[in-house]
Structure 1
């Protein structure tokens, strides 16, 4: 959360130069406070597990959040009970009359399919278009990041010779970006995917910033320059045993799968894996909620539009 200080305090300029988030008394006085409305478009087949993972990260904040779970009407989930969906989810047509401060679009285990071959692709494209003037900031995760980059910018995904599977070190490319506030220069994060988005394509796209990469796993974090779109190609929300369960499942099926890298101590799957990415995951979600959503979203959600002033113009 920001530190509120007098506008003329000499420390203000020093702290701002160090990328410490400070707020002047005038701005703090005029802030209106209300719960943030966050929608989660859950595309994962294991919806209940994904709900828990995301809500755990979102709950680690002093901000009050109102969560709305959303699913695709054009897709019939086979791994989640209809009673659960009916009780806790809105379809996109039911949700589209509302506005939200933030939106999360999850991954889905369909990355080897062409985007247009996904049964709910037209509906997801309609949702992404709708979000431009109904949501202030959208966080895309894994396949959701690939889908958003493809639909909005035409950035392709490419198949990999070998699955990127494990917990990989990543380098911060822009330490002054608010999403990366408090990050170490190198931080770990899990990946589990058969395709990649290439750094050169993001760097060549006006309005997009490449924020963190891995020498082994490639692109991890990118975002629009105005903070209203965030793209995470990995899975910071994973629990300590998510990669283990995926590995054990494929081994039990007799599938060819490599041991997840940098995950088990000594890369020995007989040993219990250790969580090394949890603090990064909490910090990433807290930064998104604070800097991309809470500090900039209009108090009146009816004022959200596709084009809003840049962060610099609002200071």
Structure 2
């Protein structure tokens, strides 16, 4: 089935070039199907890039998915055209009466701040609490994963001596969970962060389960409430050149940055990336949509509690 996106969203044309089947909302309205309603709270600065990365993965499913984009009122994006934000994003306060089958909350470039210092922290907390009663399953990515675990469960974050930067081998700890259906015994995931959560802090909290981790990059995935909350500290959604863009950006700025680990062919940037995470990234999002959203959400979306 196709992915149902807002009319004129830039990702539509980009993904059509990749032979991914997407339709706009005008065409979708003629189909007599109850689509899954997914809302994305996009906190990343390059919003169009993040939209395209996420939409690419959400499209790899036989389900029809209707995607909406949410933003926080307390933050103005400096890297995305105002016209784009007005056309495709709604403030949380305008969406808070709606219910959604699934939600994705992205990372944000605010790791260097304590949570309470983030200028939109109060609104983020309100959105987190709202999601528990208005969304069937929420996928928290990178900073959002750390922030959600802190808000709900008091799990602290710790600053790293060096940025966790590269593609790291992960191991499923509960391979029989539906989220890992079709996974191999090991898989790879990009990470790009200056902070971490620690296994011992997660395991102290009843109801939290570490379901994937790495000897190098630490806790990768945490599950709570039977899969209604899934926390991912890495970036399964990253496109092949995202880490390369970040690396070259930081080099140009003169920032202290190591070459991303396990990323470039033969560790030579000029040879480009060796993509090792794309297949499992697609599986992760497809399994989440199928087993934790579609299989669990009520047909009457207003019945979500």
Q: TM-score, normalised by structure 2?
A: 0.88
Shift of 1:266: 2.1
Cross-structure match for 2:128: 128
Are 1:222 and 1:230, in contact at CA under 8 Å, matched by a contact in 2? yes
Shift of 1:58: 0.3
Cross-structure match for 1:70: 70
1:205 aligns with 2:205: yes
Q: Distance in 1 between matches of 2:225 and 2:78?
A: 38
Q: Distance in 2 between matches of 1:51 and 1:85?
A: 12
1:98 aligns with 2:98: yes
Structure 2 counterparts to residues 147-296 of structure 1, below 5 A: 147-296=147-296
Q: Distance in 2 between matches of 1:125 and 1:46?
A: 23
Cross-structure match for 1:83: 83
Deviates more, 1:278-287 or 1:217-226: 217-226
SS at match of 1:77: coil
Deviates more, 1:46-55 or 1:216-225: 216-225
Paired positions, count: 275
Deviations 1:14-72 (A, max 9, x none): xxxxxxxxxxxxxxxxxxx7210000000011111100000000011110011110000
Which has the larger Rg?
A: 1
Shift of 1:273: 1.0
Q: Distance in 2 between matches of 1:236 and 1:46?
A: 17
Deviations 1:118-147 (A, max 9, x none): 111000100111111111100000001011
Are 1:35 and 1:63, in contact at CA under 8 Å, matched by a contact in 2? yes
Shift of 1:163: 0.8
Q: Distance in 2 between matches of 1:84 and 1:44?
A: 14
SS at match of 2:240: coil
Shift of 1:288: 0.4
- Runs of 4+ in structure 1 deviating by more than 6 angstroms, as ranges, are none
Q: In structure 1, list runs of 5 or more residues that go unmatched.
A: 1-32, 306-315
Cross-structure match for 1:111: 111
Shift of 1:225: 4.3
Q: TM-score, normalised by structure 1?
A: 0.85
